[in-house]
């Protein structure tokens, strides 16, 4: 690695190790709870002093627990807003369903605004609120890309329901709580995993108490913004109730996993774990730690979803499913045993993987357990760029892992990015060649890397004066297909030319591949009687 790249790598490593006592970068009107701190308890990435593991040592209540109400009574009415994500196939996320289940179990009335499913916007939310009984609390969870939509939806809420308390959360909100409370005009915020903190916040407000001693909470205090310590991630996820599926039109959120021209099977998302043990430079993770759900809970819930909704294919939407060989093989063997003893109908599934973990044994076990596709975050085909990303993968791992997956009969998806530190015209060519070789059926294009708040790359941009402050990021990050910040040594014109030529090459390769596959499919139908890839009518009785 060159001296220049070594300097960049050292700087990124230091960002993960250093600590600071400031809150956001705009700390003029931000308060913080005075808590005992150890350096490892401080979030280093955005200089936010959260405290973390010592929150139980503070004065005052931490968890507000209220007496159980009589049957039918409710503490308050809560609306959780799922905004439109502008996807052709709406993507269902588990966060609102888990929060709703926890709140319902504690005597709150919960409803969902299904903007994601039905492509509803701010005006639709206004009509929804006018038609319903008043909601005491309205919650929004969002990713960074959707902050401008959040603002429009909050304006809609305030125009027709000004007394409702607005609560923000999710990966978009958590790194910059003070900034986003000011920017959106929301009343409260919950950082990190929200099930326990959201319940404690609502219990405190229901009891007329201040939420200042609740971890992971931020709120307005006059002209100031109050930010408390970060709560540890939910440690015993097996104690969480089953997601509130009954509040969602699951049949609408499900999709058909198509194969060629065949109708395919009914598919749905599923969550088998929480967290990710890796620290890639472009990825935001506020909390550390990784937790598996108990396998018996997983099998039971898969069986429930298959029986009630007819789901036969599951997309394991974990941040990272493949964390160790041992876990993956045990998981696959448990599925095989459940198939064999009849406790779980034979299903198929797809998931996320790591090319530094998968090998022939892992791939074969997953295939035998019903896995049909693995998404590997390839990100780049160049070893030096991968090292600067802190990806922990090498050329041999990439080649061997992909080929082991394909040889086991599974498809691969290889999402990649363009423009990270160290990227050049030569490095991106390696990425394109790998995609053309192994990912022909997946129309996978390159997008410019975005340094999301909370990621080491974001802090790198601030430290290197590539980004002035949070406000500048808020103003320029409006289209993920355009460059937000140039981390390369290419000028902007060269950057976009290389990106265009790379994507043009990938588009041509994809259509050439699909053209040949379609010809083979029809040849098999016409001359070999193979209609397995087509919808057919079965006349047998």
Strand duo 313-316 + 262-270: pairing: parallel
Query: Average pLDDT, stretch 30-48?
Result: 34
pLDDT of 68:
72
Helices 195-206, 95-104: crossing angle, 10 deg rounding: 40
What would the pLDDT profile of 95-127 be if each residue is shown by its tens digit?
999 999 999 999 999 999 999 999 999 999 999
Same fold, 3-237 and 254-513: no
What would the pLDDT profile of 347-391 be if each residue is shown by its tens digit?
999 999 999 999 999 999 999 999 999 999 999 999 999 999 999
Cα separation values, 520 from 111, 410, 514, Å: 49, 19, 10
pLDDT of 392:
95
Give the pLDDT band (50/70/90) at residue 450: very high
CA distance linking residue 184 with residue 188, whole number of Å: 11
Residue 261: pLDDT above 60? no
What would the pLDDT profile of 503-514 be if each residue is shown by its tens digit?
999 999 999 998
Query: What is the separation of C-alpha 498 from the centre of its chain, rounded to a whole number of angstroms?
Result: 29
CA distance linking residue 413 with residue 441, whole number of Å: 9
What would the pLDDT profile of 330-344 be if each residue is shown by its tens digit?
999 999 999 999 999
pLDDT of 233:
87
Query: Average pLDDT, stretch 486-511?
Result: 97
Residue 48: pLDDT above 80? no
Superfamily for domain range 254-513: tm_1862 like domain (3.80.30.20)
**Mean of the per-residue pLDDT values of the chain:** 86
CA distance linking residue 142 with residue 171, whole number of Å: 7
User: Which region holds residue 383: left if phi is over 0, alpha if psi is between -120 and 50, else beta?
Assistant: alpha
CA distance linking residue 207 with residue 486, whole number of Å: 50
CA distance linking residue 449 with residue 401, whole number of Å: 24
Residue 250: pLDDT above 70? yes
CA distance linking residue 269 with residue 254, whole number of Å: 8
pLDDT of 11:
56
pTM for this prediction: 0.87
pLDDT of 64:
63
DSSP-derived 3-state class of residue 77: strand
Q: Mention every residue, 6+ apart, whose C-beta is less than 8 A from residue 420.
A: 281, 282, 379, 380, 385, 388, 389, 449, 457, 487
pLDDT of 440:
73
Residue 262: pLDDT above 60? no
Contact yes or no for 225/35 (Cβ under 8 A): no
Superfamily for domain range 3-237: Response regulator (3.40.50.2300)
Task: Please state the domain extents for the chain.
Answer: 3-237, 254-513
Give whichever of 58-62, 145-149, 156-160 has the largest mean pLDDT.
Answer: 156-160
């Amino acid at each position: 690695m060159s001296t220049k790249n070594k300097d960049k790598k050292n700087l990124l490593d230091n960002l993960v190790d250093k600590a600071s006592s400031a809150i956001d970068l705009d700390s003029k009107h931000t308060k913080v709870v005075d808590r005992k701190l150890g350096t490892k308890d401080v979030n280093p990435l955005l200089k936010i002093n959260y405290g973390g593991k010592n929150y139980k040592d503070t004065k005052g209540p931490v968890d507000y627990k209220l007496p159980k109400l009589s049957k039918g009574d409710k503490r308050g009415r809560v609306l959780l807003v799922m905004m439109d994500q502008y996807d052709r196939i709406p993507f269902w996320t588990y966060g609102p369903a888990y929060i709703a289940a926890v709140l319902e179990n504690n005597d709150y009335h919960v409803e969902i605004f299904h903007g994601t499913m039905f492509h509803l916007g701010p005006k639709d939310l206004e009509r929804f609120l006018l038609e319903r009984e008043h909601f005491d609390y309205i919650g929004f969870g969002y990713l960074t890309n959707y902050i401008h939509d959040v603002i429009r939806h909050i304006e809609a809420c305030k125009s027709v329901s000004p007394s409702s308390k607005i609560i923000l959360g999710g990966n978009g909100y958590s790194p910059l709580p003070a900034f986003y409370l000011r920017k959106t005009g929301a009343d409260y915020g919950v950082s990190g995993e929200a099930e326990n903190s959201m319940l404690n916040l609502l219990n405190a407000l229901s009891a007329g108490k201040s939420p200042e001693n609740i971890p992971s909470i931020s709120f307005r205090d006059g002209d100031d913004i109050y930010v408390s310590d970060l709560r540890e991630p939910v440690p015993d996820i097996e104690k969480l109730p089953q997601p509130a599926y009954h509040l969602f039109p699951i049949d609408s959120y499900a999709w058909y996993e198509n194969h060629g021209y065949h109708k395919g099977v009914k598919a749905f998302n599923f969550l088998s774990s929480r967290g990710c043990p890796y620290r890639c430079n472009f990825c935001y993770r506020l909390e550390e730690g990784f937790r598996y759900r108990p396998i018996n809970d997983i099998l039971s819930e898969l069986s429930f979803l298959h029986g009630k909704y007819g789901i036969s294919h599951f997309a394991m939407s974990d941040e990272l499913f493949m964390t160790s060989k041992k876990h993956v093989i045990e998981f696959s063997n448990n599925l095989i045993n459940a198939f064999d003893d009849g406790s779980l109908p034979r299903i198929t599934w797809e998931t996320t993987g790591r090319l530094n973990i998968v090998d022939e044994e892992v791939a074969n076990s997953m295939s035998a357990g019903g896995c049909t596709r693995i998404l590997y975050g390839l990100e780049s085909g160049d070893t030096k760029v991968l090292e600067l990303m802190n990806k922990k993968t090498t050329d041999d791992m990439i080649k061997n892992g992909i080929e082991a997956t394909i040889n086991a009969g599974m498809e691969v998806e290889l999402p990649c990015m363009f423009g990270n530190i160290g990227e050049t015209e030569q490095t991106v060519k390696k990425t394109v060649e790998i995609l053309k070789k192994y990912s022909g059926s997946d129309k996978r294009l390159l997008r410019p890397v975005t340094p999301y708040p909370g990621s080491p790359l974001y802090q790198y941009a601030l430290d290197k004066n590539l980004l002035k402050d949070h406000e500048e990021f808020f103003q320029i990050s409006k289209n993920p297909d355009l460059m937000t910040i140039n981390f390369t040594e290419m000028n902007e014109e060269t950057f976009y030319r290389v990106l265009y030529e790379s994507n043009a090459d990938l588009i041509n390769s994809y259509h050439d591949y699909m053209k040949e596959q379609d010809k083979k499919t029809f040849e098999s139908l016409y001359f070999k009687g193979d209609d397995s890839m087509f919808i057919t009518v079965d006349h047998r009785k």
